[in-house]
Amino acid sequence: MDGVKDSETIRTCYLEAVRAFLELVEQVPDAAWSKPGLGDWDVRGLTGHASRALSTVGTYLSAPATGVYVDGPVAYFLAVRSSMDPDVIARRGRETGEALGAEPAAAVKDLVEQVTTLVRNTPDDAAVASPAGTMRLVDYLPTRTFELAVHTLDLARALERPAPAALGPAVAASLELAAAIGAHLPAAGDLLLLLTGRSGLPGNLSVL
């Protein structure tokens, strides 16, 4: 399994990311839902895509878990990165955003309540039928924390608002996960140079 983290820490980190996402969504003015969000998405589409980090937990827990066993979040991302279709992802985000209805923030709040109860009451080893294969819930949750951390930051940028303070642990965990994924890629050296300010980052941004 990728890394060693206490399951309660993993759950708490995910639920804090969920709370931070909702906090920001509830700040979206009515007129801002149609404003640019990220790439082809407006704010509604970006919110819809990010909300799948909530809804898929229940969907994949309830689906039959078959196929290869996926041993942790790094293995998950390495398995799905080559099969991701940007056009499909963009369309699904728009469709999910539209499905949030006339009151998107209220719809997201309902999702938050559902997933919070589910995560608190489901065993660590419950089988999740993820797109990469069968995973334990406790191994799938960090992938959703990652998605929430990244897209809550995207949403904050689109709204020109600060990211909620509650997102901090999820950002830290996601940086660790991103580094672990990057270490397996052919471009690992280039990623390390990027993070140490060698090229491409604004204002000589560096981890050192």
Per-residue pLDDT of the chain (208 residues), as tens digits, is 454 579 999 999 999 999 999 999 999 999 999 999 999 999 999 999 999 999 999 999 999 988 899 999 999 999 998 888 889 999 999 999 999 999 999 999 999 999 999 999 999 999 999 999 999 999 999 999 999 999 999 999 999 999 999 999 999 999 999 999 999 999 999 889 888 888 777 777 788 7
In what helix (H) or strand (E) does residue 31 lie, and over which residues does it extend?
none
The verdict on residue 112 lying in a domain is yes
- How many domains are there within the chain? 1
Give ∠ CA 90-95-99 in degrees, rounded to 5.
145
Q: Which residues contact 39 (CB under 8 A, 6 or more apart)?
A: 90
Q: Which residues contact 194 (CB under 8 A, 6 or more apart)?
A: 200, 201
pLDDT at 82: 80
The verdict on residue 2 lying in a domain is no
pLDDT at 83: 81
Amino acid letter for position 143:
T
Strand, helix or coil at 187?
coil
- Could you count the other beta carbons within 10 Å of the beta carbon of residue 114? 14
Q: How far, in whole angstroms, is CA 31 from its chain's centroid?
A: 25
The verdict on residue 168 lying in a domain is yes
Rounded to two decimals, what is the model's pTM? Answer: 0.93
State the Cα–Cα distance between residues 58 and 18, nearest whole angstrom: 14
The verdict on residue 122 lying in a domain is yes
The verdict on residue 125 lying in a domain is yes
Could you give the dihedral angle defined by the CA atoms of residues 72, 75, 76 and 79, in that order, rounded to the nearest 10 degrees? -160
The verdict on residue 196 lying in a domain is yes
The verdict on residue 200 lying in a domain is yes
Handedness of CA 64, 118, 156, 78 (dihedral sign): negative
Q: Which two tokens stand for residue 140?
A: 């799938």
Work out whether strand 36-38 and strand 127-130 pair parallel, antiparallel, or are unpaired: unpaired
The verdict on residue 1 lying in a domain is no
> Residue 17: which domain range?
7-204
The domain that holds 135 is classified in CATH as 1.20.120.450
